[in-house]
Amino acid sequence: MRRILTLVALALLTLGVAVWATGGLDGLGQWAQGIQRDAQARMAMSLRSLRAGEPGALALLWGLCFAYGFVHAVGPGHGKFLLGAYGAGTDVRLRRLMGLGLVAALAQGVTAIVLVYAGVGLFDLSREALQITGDQWLERASLVAIALIGLWLISRAARRAIRETMAVPQPFHAHAGACAECGHRHLPDAHQVARLGSWPEAAALIGAIAIRPCTGALFLLILTWRMDLVWQGIAGVLIMALGTASITLAVAATAVLAREGALTSSLGDARVARLRRLGPVIEACAGLFIIILALNMLKIS
């Protein structure tokens, strides 16, 4: 019976990915919320079964954790947007971006674990006090950090747009020579690549995502701690992080592919020139989007 439930959940998940991937974005929020509600309810049941020592309960719990992390990321989780915008706005390579996504998601899970068990072990904080720490301080700090990254992307885009407009007055009849030049200008120089790939930037990105642990993960850790299911809960949160990462990775890949598709397609010269002008625009939009999102969450927080 449990195996069947797990299989059904997996089938639903696959179906969901298919719907999402094929652009069936209408009602996405509603769909994600329905799955989250369901996963949350089943998680309570699986915890009860696990504590009662029923076989298969642990696999079910972990499967639900993955599903929960996945649908949670489909909703307004900021890590996905942050990473996507970063990927669209910079020349970071796909593999590195996906690595960042995975590390950031796992770091987010680890933050929750450290927060709960540091509280439990060292300070013996109550759940309520923990949530004040977790949600209020860390979240606000993280949202501010995100908004700053958005600002940074916009300012960079603006600088680039100004530089290109000033330096390369495009002749009306754009010929191959002129565009080869503007194309050359647009490619990142060695200095830029070094700067974009620098570890402080990567660390800042990971930090902004990791610093805000998911409320669902905190709930699960507190419950499993009270139930004496410590390692099962910790593993569950890490699996939840993998579920979150799977969406984040998809968004990261889409962002990079879209950027590369937009910038390196072998279209006509004039069109390529126009598209290259789009680079800063895309970047600025991404930055703006991030800021709106961060402010949005800051307000709702």
Partner 1 sequence: MSSLRAIFLASLMPVTAAPLLAHPHIFVEAGVEVIFDSDGRPDALRISWEYDPFFSMLLVSDMGLDADFTGEISENERDALDGFDMNWIEGYHGDVHVRQGARDIALSEPVEWTSDYRDGQLRSTHLRKLLDPPDPRDEWVIAVYDPTYFTAYTVIDTPRITGRDDCEARIFEPDWDAADARLEAALEELLGAGADIEANFPAVGELFSDEVRLTCAGS
Q: Residue 227 interacts with partner 1 (CB under 8 A)?
A: yes
Q: Residue 118 interacts with partner 1 (CB under 8 A)?
A: no
Q: How far is the CB of 46 from partner 1 (least distance, A)?
A: 10
- Name the residue nearer to partner 1 (CB basis): 165 or 301: 301
Stretch 163-202: interaction string toward partner 1, x if CB under 8 A: ----------------------------------------
Nearest alpha-carbon partner for 127 in 238, 224, 207: 224
Q: Residue 125 interacts with partner 1 (CB under 8 A)?
A: no
CB half-sphere exposure, 298, CA atoms < 13 A: 14
- For partner 1, the binding residues in 279-298 under the rule CB under 8 A are 292, 295-298
Q: How far is the CB of 227 from partner 1 (least distance, A)?
A: 6
Distance CA 124, CA 254 (A): 43
What percentage of the chain's residues is helix, strand, coil (to nearest 5)? 85, 0, 15
Strand, coil or helix: 149? helix
Largest CA distance in the chain: 77
Distance CA 290, CA 283 (A): 11
Q: How far is the CB of 150 from partner 1 (least distance, A)?
A: 13
- For partner 1, the binding residues in 43-102 under the rule CB under 8 A are 43-45, 47-48, 51, 72, 75-77
Q: To which residue do tokens 């700053």 refer?
A: 148
**Tokens read off for 160:** 């680039």
Residues 205 and 82: beta-carbon distance below 8 Å: yes
Q: To which residue do tokens 């094929």 refer?
A: 22
Of 128, 177, 199, 266, the one binding partner 1 (CB under 8 A) is 128
Applying CB under 8 A, which residues contact partner 1?
26-27, 29-30, 33, 36-37, 40-41, 43-45, 47-48, 51, 72, 75-77, 126-128, 131-132, 135-136, 139, 215-216, 219, 222-223, 226-227, 292, 295-301
